[in-house]
Structure 1
Amino acid sequence: MDIAQHIVASSLQLFYRNGFHATGVELLSREAGVTKKTLYRHYPSKDVLIDAALALRHEQFMVRVRTFVERAGAAQRPLAYIDFIANWVQEDDFCGCAFINATAEFAQSDSAPHQQAAGHKREVQEYLLSLCASAGARQPEVVSTQLFLIGEGLIVGSQVQQAQRVALVDGAQAAAQVIWSASL
């Protein structure tokens, strides 16, 4: 891993844990083990670093979700998507969705982080639509939207109501099963 990749990877972890605005350049450079001058040589502004961190997070997430989901047979992949979310929200280092968090901190829809979040969510929805279509759903657009909303609700609910995660996971998986069964 080169220095620029190291900076963005360590920055992503800080942004994810602490938030974008709450994480200063001093902490970013210290965590990466570089001087502020080195950080700025690779990323001329904190905004550029945030863009790079969100791009990395998108890439990591899509690889991770595809790897998990595509281990299941084609007919079970839409539900495997919900299982992926269910497993993720129960991880010890779960701090919500970096993209949902970004839209909360960068509420203007024309801001770069907000646009990256919208693009990420659009790609997740397109992936889920392809899973539903390949699995034989009668109305793949409708059921993929429903499953997407269950997943998003589980992410936010688990971040906000950490003590209720198990109940939220059970409820989300049960709702997804009902929706999926009705779609075939």
Structure 2
Amino acid sequence: MQKSTEKILSTAEQLFNQHSFSSVGVDLIRDQSGCSKTTLYKHFKNKHYLIQTVLKQRHQRWQAAILASIAGQHGLAALKALYDWHISWFQQADFKGCLFVRAVAESMPQDREITAIAQAHKQWIQQQIILYCQQLGADLNVAQCYYLLLEGMINEALMNGISPQVATQQWQMLEYLLQAKSTS
């Protein structure tokens, strides 16, 4: 990938995350990235394509980071690593909730590709949870509870923050559910 493309994508992702997709125009992205409008449109034919590319790149980066945090772990340890990865994300200074959900919320019905990318991202996370729950012998209902709790925590972290005590309590609740369902 060319440096100008990387700079545009990095700038666009930061601006979309900090503000919103609808409030950030290509002129602001151009100005903040230091590229020309010609360069921007050479790499990205329009704003929708830029949004799609930002989401695809974010998914790839997150996928690699999550897999690295789980590396070599299975079952309960992998589920804890996934949980801890999210808790760490909530603590980052630029945390503004889920960019994938926000992309869908701000998209138009005809923006099917944006919705498809966001859904694929969420499905990938859900599949990781299912895989590690299955390693414990827990059923799909338990995996769904884990996934929904994690999704809810994203919103709670955005609205009110997640204290270390709450993070610990939520994990203990999940762990209890996971262990109870894997032994029954």
Judge same fold: TM > 0.5, yes or no: yes
8 Å CA contact 1:100–1:117 kept in 2: the answer is yes
**Structure 2: segments with no counterpart, 5+ residues:** none
Q: Which amino acid aligns with 1:54?
A: L
What is the rounded CA distance, in whole Å, between the counterparts of 2:6 and 2:95 in structure 1?
22
Q: 1:126 to 1:73 in 2, by over 3 A?
A: closer
User: What is the CA–CA distance in structure 1 between the aligned matches of 2:166 and 2:102, rounded to whole Å?
Assistant: 20
Distance 1:90 1:40, change over 3 A: same
Aligned residues: 181
Q: Tell me which moved more, 168-177 or 52-61.
A: 168-177
Counterpart of 1:156 in structure 2 is: 155
Instruction: Compute the displacement of 1:73 (Å).
Output: 4.8
Q: What's the TM-score once normalised by structure 2's chain length?
A: 0.88
SS in 2 for 1:27: helix
Q: Find the aligned partners of 2:87 and 2:72 in 1 and give their Cα distance.
A: 16
Aligned 8 A contact 2:87 2:167 in 1: yes
Q: What residue identity is the alignment partner of 1:152?
A: E
Return the offset for 1:172: 2.4
- Is 2:13 aligned against 1:18? no
% identity of equivalent residues: 25
State the partner residue of 1:115.
Answer: 116
Q: Which moved more, 1:72-81 or 1:89-98?
A: 72-81
1:137–1:143 Cα contact (<8 Å) kept:
no
1:73-107 deviation digits (Å, cap 9, x = unpaired): 54411222112111211122211111111122126
Q: Structure 1 residues 100, 73: closer, same or farther in 2, change over 3 A?
A: same
- Residues 112-164 of structure 1: per-residue CA shift (max 9 Å, x gap): 22221111111111121112223x2232x2221111111111111111223x5
Q: Is the 8 A contact 1:138 1:183 kept in 2?
A: yes
Deviation at 1:45, TM superposition (A): 0.3
In structure 2, distance between residues paired with 1:8 and 1:133: 37
Q: 1:183/1:111 Cα in 2 relative to 1: closer, same or farther (>3 Å)?
A: same
How far apart in 1 are the matches of 2:86 and 2:43?
A: 33
Q: Distance in 2 between matches of 1:49 and 1:125?
A: 26
- SS of the aligned residue for 2:93 comes to coil
Are the equivalent residues in 2 in contact too, given 1:8–1:53 (CA < 8 A)? yes
Aligned to 1:147: 146
